[in-house]
Amino acid sequence: MGEGLKGKVAIVTGASRGIGKSLALTAASLGINLTIAARNEGPLKEAAAEISNKHKVDVLALPCDVTQLVDLENLANKTKEKFSRVDILINCAGVSSQYPFQNQPIEDLEKLAHTNYLGYVRLIRLVINDMIKQKSGAIINIVSGSTLVDPVPRNFIVYSSLKVGLRAFSKGLFWELRDHGIKVTSILPGVTDTDLTGKLENVTSDTSRLMSTKAIEDAVKFALTVPANVCPLEISVINQQTPWVAPIIPFKQQHPDK
Ligand SMILES: NC(=O)c1ccc[n+]([C@@H]2O[C@H](COP(=O)([O-])OP(=O)(O)OC[C@H]3O[C@@H](n4cnc5c(N)ncnc54)[C@H](OP(=O)(O)O)[C@@H]3O)[C@@H](O)[C@H]2O)c1
């Protein structure tokens, strides 16, 4: 991977809106053909039409729920049927929720784990042997800047600890696969202006502190265009005034007596 991305093939999950859509547009701007995936077909097809009209690349829009193994298998298989290969996987489909742990519904824990951790890892498993055969490939995992906070942000611990696990997995995977010419990069975005953050309490009260997707697009472009013998393992792109620490963990919550 590196120079000459024109005509390569990428799968981008969570590409109907938000960060995933912006990354699908970025990949398309480099001449990469795409399979884009998300659950809701309407917005996904609209995104596909926008991307292919703008960048004149081939875009397959495939409805897929990343929590379902059968959907992930279909995503990998249909991409290979249409394009004969998968060069790049951008795992981005994700959900978020904010709860004091004792109030967090069990179903919510499971949804987070199946989407934000297993959804990523299973899809990598389904394409990795083809990349190994090709002796090249790039995997980009959209993790989270909340993994930089230790302990992970209060009321956000299931989401963030799964992302910590994903970050550890990604780094380990790089060491395991580097001799096969495969790159694995984690992107750690700060709080970004998407529908996902719109649902988080406290985080968006001051919208001037939210990032646009631009820095994440640039980080992914960098990861895909560095020379073949280089792999950026992790790229953090964090808000200048990050909204996690203050609004999610107000000092008074930790020190109610002061
Ligand atoms: N926004 C931030 O501040 C921020 C910061 C750090 C990391 N991230 C990470 O970035 C990723 C994208 O976040 P975002 O802010 O772009 O969210 P978003 O605007 O809510 O978009 C989420 C995308 O994922 C898809 N999706 C959700 N659940 C899915 C499922 N089960 N199967 C397939 N697709 C699914 C959605 O489409 P459907 O609903 O149609 O399925 C949509 O296309 C997530 O992994 C998130 O954890 C976000």
The DSSP result for 8-44, as a single string, is: -EEEEESTTSHHHHHHHHHHHHTT-EEEEEES-HHHH
Per-residue pLDDT averaged across 16-24, rounded?
A: 98
Specify whether the CB–CB gap between 36 and 12 falls below 8 A: yes
248 lines ligand 1 (CB under 6 A): no
| pLDDT for the residue numbered 246 | 43
Q: Give every CB contact of residue 61 below 8 A, 6+ residues apart in sequence.
A: 35, 36, 41, 44, 45, 47, 48
Structure tokens at 47: 């995104």
- pLDDT band at residue 216, thresholds of 50, 70 and 90? very high
Complete domains list, the chain, with CATH: 9-254 (3.40.50.720)
d(CA 126, CA 196): 27
User: How close is the Cα of 64 to the center of ligand 1, in Å?
Assistant: 13
Instruction: Say yes or no to pLDDT of 253 above 70.
Output: no
* Atom number in ligand 1 closest to CA 211: 3
Q: What is the average pLDDT score of the chain?
A: 91
- pLDDT band at residue 245, thresholds of 50, 70 and 90? low
- pLDDT band at residue 193, thresholds of 50, 70 and 90? confident
Instruction: Say yes or no to pLDDT of 141 above 80.
Output: yes
Specify whether the CB–CB gap between 141 and 186 falls below 8 A: yes
User: How close is the Cα of 109 to the center of ligand 1, in Å?
Assistant: 16
94 closest CA partner among 121, 68, 114: 114
